[in-house]
């Protein structure tokens, strides 16, 4: 039994939980065991440090703190002010931003804060003029409904879902698609790459209020200088959602034209994924939007989560250390090694490779849908997620792709040799899996056939691959 601080802290926490609801304690322990034994290749997942995890389990969880630093709607928030100010300070220094807002509970919340901040700042509406106010949250109910009708004509131009964009960039099932008249820009059908001339043409034709850049499944860099020039040419506000690659920006892997912060009017991000913090969101902006952004609560957000802001402050402090830059570089090195290993084994990759943390495999060449491939890999101890590819014939549910990423395995210490071995395991599963049939004998997009012996063998190989790279080695729950 280990007696270090981390082991003592987590063992003690589980003992306290077990005394009240043992099934929750068991599920927490089981989750750690599952994560230790699986090849985690979900591009949006990572492993937060023990310090970050522990920062979330404390008395800050008990505190209401609507408002922002120094301007709360509740008394007794002096300690919340401290951790929120620290999170914002670390974010400003880490990303070189003029202003940081650390309250959003998620990436979607961060985007909603950004959208409404832009609308409140940019829209010249009769409703606002009649009310003689500049803030949306100052409107009367009658003025609000008048304004909402007018905002229905506002336009957003963002990356299409099948090209790698995100639901929150204006797609109809999401609230962003109901707030805005939305149009998408895609990628070149031949290369899978963004065609900036076509984006500029779409912007000139559509004249959006907001031009959104950023992605959840695009395996290349984006030139944010060019995108800002396009936004400026049509008078649009340029917003970047860097949730997926924030760690690569923080680690100075993406610099110059590929760092969104100097080029965008406003930047949103999550604090987990490649940034390796707690699950949450954040907004970065210049002084011209700072006042509007700081009204995220109560304009869009519910009560801030002070315990999560404390964890954000810890994770952002960690990201400012020199070793984080090395970690960010290794994320990309590993992704490229994984892509090379797959290509050498005959896999088809969207854009033919990667510049960032993720790889998108078109599994139609294996005769599978993304859903079939995802489940067959999971049966074999490899955790991925299905994802649409450009012009995907199977749509967003079944898909034709598998998205894989390297932030989590890089945190565990795996390198290029292990990425090549991982490519071999993925290729083995996909080549040994066949599409199944439905009850009527028709081809199924969900059912598949994989010899359980193959799945068991690959799972054992995956576990063996991970053995030299223990997850949370400082945490012993026995």
**Each residue's pLDDT tens digit, 175-202:** 766 777 788 999 999 999 999 999 999 9
Give yes or no for residue 120 having a pLDDT over 90: no
- The answer to whether the CB of 286 falls within 8 A of the CB of 98 is yes
Please identify which of the residues 64, 92, 225, 476 carries the catalytic annotation.
64
Give yes or no for residue 54 having a pLDDT over 70: yes
Would you state the pLDDT for residue 153? 55
Q: What is the CATH number of domain 327-466?
A: 3.90.1150.10
**Residue 273 appears among annotated catalytic residues:** yes
What does pLDDT average to over the chain? 91
Please identify which of the residues 68, 270, 406, 433 carries the catalytic annotation.
270
- The answer to whether the CB of 392 falls within 8 A of the CB of 163 is no
Could you read off the pLDDT of 75-108 as tens digits, one per residue?
A: 999 999 999 999 999 999 999 999 999 999 999 9
Please identify which of the residues 45, 66, 81, 476 carries the catalytic annotation.
66
**Residue 237 appears among annotated catalytic residues:** no
Would you state the pLDDT for residue 124? 47
**Residue 201 appears among annotated catalytic residues:** no
Please identify which of the residues 220, 228, 276, 279 carries the catalytic annotation.
279
**Residue 40 appears among annotated catalytic residues:** no
**Residue 66 appears among annotated catalytic residues:** yes
Q: Where do we find the tokens 């609801």?
A: 21
Cα–Cα dist 319/326, whole Å: 11
- The answer to whether the CB of 46 falls within 8 A of the CB of 274 is yes
The fold for domain 59-319 equals 3.40.640
In Å, what is the CA distance from 318 to each residue of 246, 269, 285, 333?
Answer: 14, 17, 22, 21
Give yes or no for residue 138 having a pLDDT over 70: no
Would you state the pLDDT for residue 135? 53
Please identify which of the residues 109, 121, 241, 392 carries the catalytic annotation.
241
Would you state the pLDDT for residue 439? 81
The residues facing 155 across adjacent strands are 181
Could you read off the pLDDT of 406-445 as tens digits, one per residue?
A: 999 999 999 999 999 999 999 999 999 999 987 887 888 9
Could you read off the pLDDT of 221-239 as tens digits, one per residue?
A: 999 999 999 999 999 999 9
Would you state the pLDDT for residue 137? 55
Would you state the pLDDT for residue 301? 86
Q: Residues 1-11: what's their mean pLDDT? A: 87
* CATH 3.40.640.10 domain residues, the chain: 59-319
* CATH 3.90.1150.10 domain residues, the chain: 327-466
Cα–Cα dist 212/158, whole Å: 5
Give yes or no for residue 136 having a pLDDT over 90: no
Cis ω for the linkage preceding 58 (within 30 of 0)? no
Would you state the pLDDT for residue 125? 47
Would you state the pLDDT for residue 177? 65
**Non-local CB neighbours of 112 within 8 Å, separated by 6+ positions:** 168, 175, 176, 300
Give yes or no for residue 133 having a pLDDT over 50: no
**Non-local CB neighbours of 377 within 8 Å, separated by 6+ positions:** 383, 384, 402, 426, 429, 430
Please identify which of the residues 72, 220, 273, 445 carries the catalytic annotation.
273
Q: Where do we find the tokens 């931003």?
A: 97
**Residue 162 appears among annotated catalytic residues:** no
Cα–Cα dist 385/42, whole Å: 6
Could you read off the pLDDT of 293-319 as tens digits, one per residue?
A: 998 888 888 889 999 999 999 999 999
Would you state the pLDDT for residue 441? 76
Q: What's the pTM?
A: 0.91
């Amino acid at each position: 039994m280990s007696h270090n601080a981390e082991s003592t802290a987590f063992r003690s926490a589980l003992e306290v939980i077990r005394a009240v609801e043992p099934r929750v304690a068991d599920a927490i322990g089981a989750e750690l065991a599952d994560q230790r034994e699986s090849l985690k290749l979900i591009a949006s997942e990572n492993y937060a440090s023990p310090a970050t995890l522990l920062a979330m389990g404390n008395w800050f969880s008990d505190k209401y703190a609507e408002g922002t630093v120094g301007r709360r709607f509740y008394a007794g928030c002096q300690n919340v002010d401290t951790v929120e100010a620290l999170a914002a300070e670390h974010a400003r220094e880490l990303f070189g931003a003029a202003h940081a807002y650390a309250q959003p509970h998620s990436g979607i919340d961060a985007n909603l804060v950004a959208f409404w901040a832009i609308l409140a700042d940019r829209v010249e509406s009769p409703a606002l003029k009649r009310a003689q106010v500049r803030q949306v949250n100052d409107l009367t109910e009658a003025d609000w409904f008048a304004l909402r009708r007018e905002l229905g004509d506002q336009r957003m131009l963002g990356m299409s879902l099948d090209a790698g964009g995100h639901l929150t960039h204006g797609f109809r099932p999401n609230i962003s698609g109901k707030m805005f008249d939305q149009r998408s820009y895609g990628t070149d059908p031949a290369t899978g790459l963004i065609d900036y001339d076509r984006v500029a043409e779409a912007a000139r034709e559509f004249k959006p209020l907001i031009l959104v850049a950023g992605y959840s499944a695009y395996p290349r860099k984006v030139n944010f200088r060019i995108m800002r020039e396009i936004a400026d040419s049509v008078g649009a506000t340029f917003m970047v959602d860097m949730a997926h690659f924030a760690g690569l920006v923080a680690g100075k892997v993406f610099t110059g034209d590929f760092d969104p912060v100097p080029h965008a009017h406003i930047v949103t991000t999550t604090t987990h994924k490649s940034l390796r913090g707690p699950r949450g969101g954040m907004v970065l902006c210049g002084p011209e939007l700072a006042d509007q952004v700081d009204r995220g609560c109560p304009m869009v957000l519910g009560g801030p989560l002070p315990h999560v802001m404390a964890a954000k402050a810890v994770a952002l402090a960690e990201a400012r250390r020199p070793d984080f830059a090395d970690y960010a570089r290794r994320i990309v090195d590993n992704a490229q090694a994984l892509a090379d290993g797959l290509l050498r084994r005959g896999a088809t990759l969207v854009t033919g490779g990667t510049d960032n943390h993720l790889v998108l495999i078109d599994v139609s060449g294996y005769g599978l849908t993304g859903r079939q491939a995802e489940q067959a890999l999971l049966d074999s101890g490899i955790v991925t997620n299905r994802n649409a590819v450009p012009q995907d014939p199977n749509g967003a549910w079944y898909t034709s792709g598998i998205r894989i990423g390297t932030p989590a395995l890089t945190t565990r210490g795996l390198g290029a040799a292990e990425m090549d071995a991982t490519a071999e395991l993925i290729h083995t599963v996909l080549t040994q899996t066949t599409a199944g049939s439905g009850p009527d004998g028709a081809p199924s997009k969900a059912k598949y056939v994989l010899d359980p012996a193959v799945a068991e063998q690959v799972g054992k190989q995956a576990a063996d691959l991970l053995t030299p790279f223990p997850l949370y080695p400082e945490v012993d729950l026995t």
